[in-house]
A and B are shown apart, each in its own frame.
Chain A
Amino acid sequence: MTLVVEAGLDDRLKRTHPLLTLLRRPEVGALVAAVGIFTFFSLFTQAFLTPAGVSTWLYSASLFGIMAVAVALLMIGGEFDLSAGAMTGTTGLIVGVVTTQWGLNLWLALGLALAVALSIGAANAYIVMKTGLPSFIVTLATFFILQGCNLAVTKLVTGSVAIQGMGVVPGFDQAKLFFGSAFPLLGMEVKVSIVWWIALTALATWVLLRTRPGNWVFAVGGEVTSARQIGVPVFRVKLGLFMTTAGAGWLVGMLQLFDVSTVQATTGVGQEFIYIICAVVGGCLLTGGYGSAIGAALGALIYGMTLQGIVFAQWDNNWLKAFLGGMLLLAVLVNLLVRRQTGARA
């Protein structure tokens, strides 16, 4: 009897194996789309493939990419963070306010902003895990709180809705080396944020696929009860994920602050969904337990290329939103197929 069943299993495997192997890579769809969009804009616009053009869309993609990778990890772990966008504003504003208004040392200010970001991330995790409420709701609340505070506190302290005078803060030029510098490469002006983006994508991929905590991220997102029953430290994993996302928000906040030497109180608002879309386009399941960091980085690349490509093509900027929606729908449909193929009997 055993033999019969096993023979049946092997037959089935032989038949679907190549398809499954291909579909098992979550980033395949995003890679195909990225190549397609790259080819399209390279052929149909003048500026897209010039060194200046490439550095523009790479920079744009890098800021979204860093967040998308962190958000993808969180989503694989089965949670959302809607406060991730506002966090990039909050951290920039903290550094701006305490240095320009109160004369705090810049490096201390950087540390303070990071500590605040990590605490907010930890608070998100703590509330989600202790109450069992969906992270969608909890971080939606955090998002509104941050958005409100960003505006109200900035106005209260500076009397305006933007921070000016960052450039004259002592130490600004040294810090700019890490967050706002650029170096020439193949005729391009490569901003340092692109290095951060690639490094973090590589690191996240390594952690996800080759470390124990990475294995646990998939487990807590895929089947939290089973993971807990078998001994995965669920709370610690989710705490780490929320704090990672908040930490990424801090990094992007700094990258923006030191790039343009100013920060608006509305920075980052509305971008939280773009991070999620990049992650989903990159193959993350909305239900958790499946996805990839490289895929999310590719999702951000698609977004960055399209954002700038539409400008280069001199189209109406509003097409971007329509395109984004179309990509999202397509990605979700592909993901559904994946789910059917791999998890139908789960």
Chain B
Amino acid sequence: MTPEPIQPLPTEPGPIQPLPTRPKPILAVRDIGKSYGAVRALQGVSASVGAGEVLCVLGDNGAGKSTFIKILAGAHPHSEGTLLAFGTERRFTHPREALDLGIATVYQDLAVVGLMPVWRNFFLAAERTRGRGPLRRLDVAGMRATTKRELARMGIDLRDVDQPIGTLSGGERQSVAIARAVYFGAKVVILDEPTSALGVKQAGVVLSYIARARDRGLGVVFITHNPHHAYPVGDRFLLLQRGRSLGDFAKSEITIDEMTALMAGGPELEALAHELERR
């Protein structure tokens, strides 16, 4: 892992203090909330992410992580509070609106077509063409070269971008999806549990790509329920529990033990500790 480039200086321990030393947030929420009918899935959550920062959103199942992403990704509009994207107040009603602003979401199921080659997946629905009229054709050589180059920039060295993407491991597929979002102009990438379905080793691969995306100046929102995945790459940590915020901490304000203790405990944590030891 690369050393942390940004160390915010806390003036006091505790949640939600806009800190002057941090980069200007490119995506921020204040007291945001969402109700589905009578159910308040999320309330009073504040957090932000700047360029070159990783915001980790942690919480157990049902903590409101999915609702939080859906608001940022534009899948569901928020019902309370404010959402600021690049300094302007927004209320997304369609994923396209978020995407057009450069907020890309990589969902757990990845949106890749297993039988298609890596490069065709990389450019799917945004294919590059050459020529005009009836001779308008896919720029196959160009797309192959770009795919190879962009994946290499993310540290994924594929010998053959013509192999079906289904032959890649889960971690690699996740990384291709991240690289694709970055290439198509994302300023902020939202990653929905990218490591949860992966083994320890593969999770490590994905974490290093997250660090790379951050080093390239992207804002990363990394949703996970695993503090051991979040802590090494995170700059800020938003902890959710039962739809409420337990706080938005800078890395210097919280230790991994405090973080795990703040989240719901139980046998799951022992399993995680075990996983940490193996790494």
Q: Of B124, B157, B160, B163, which is within 8 A of A232 by CB?
A: B124
Segment with Cβ contacts to A, from B48-56, B108-116, B186-194, B247-255: B108-116
Segment with Cβ contacts to A, from B18-26, B36-44, B61-69, B164-172: B164-172
Q: Of A5, A216, A222, which is within 8 A of B114 by CB?
A: A222
Say if the beta carbon of B278 comes within 8 Å of chain A: no
Say if the beta carbon of B208 comes within 8 Å of chain A: yes
Segment with Cβ contacts to B, from A29-37, A61-69, A81-89, A207-215: A207-215
| Contact call B114/A218, Cβ cutoff below 8 A | no
| Contact call A232/B125, Cβ cutoff below 8 A | yes
| Contact call A215/B127, Cβ cutoff below 8 A | yes
Across-interface contacts of B120 in A (CB, < 8 A): 215, 218
- The dominant DSSP class at the A interface is helix
| Contact call A212/B116, Cβ cutoff below 8 A | no
Known: A2-B208, A229-B107. A216 touches B125 (CB 8 A): yes
Q: Of A10, A211, A343, which is within 8 A of B164 by CB?
A: A343
Cα distance, A150 to B109, chains bound together (Å): 47
Say if the beta carbon of A223 comes within 8 Å of chain B: yes
CB < 8 Å A-B pair total: 114
Q: Nearest chain B CB to A214's CB is how many angstroms away? A: 8
Cα distance, A218 to B112, chains bound together (Å): 12
**8 Å CB interface, B150-174 against A:** 155-160, 162-172
Known: A9-B172, A226-B112, A229-B111. A2 touches B164 (CB 8 A): no
| Contact call B159/A212, Cβ cutoff below 8 A | no
CB-defined interface of A215-241 with B at 8 Å, one 1/0 digit per residue? 110110011011101111000000000
List A residues at the B interface (Cβ < 8 Å).
Answer: 1-2, 4-6, 9-10, 13-14, 17, 20, 24, 206, 209-212, 214-216, 218-219, 222-223, 225-227, 229-232, 285, 289-290, 342-346
List B residues at the A interface (Cβ < 8 Å).
Answer: 107, 109-116, 120, 123-127, 129, 136-138, 140, 155-160, 162-172, 201-202, 204-205, 208
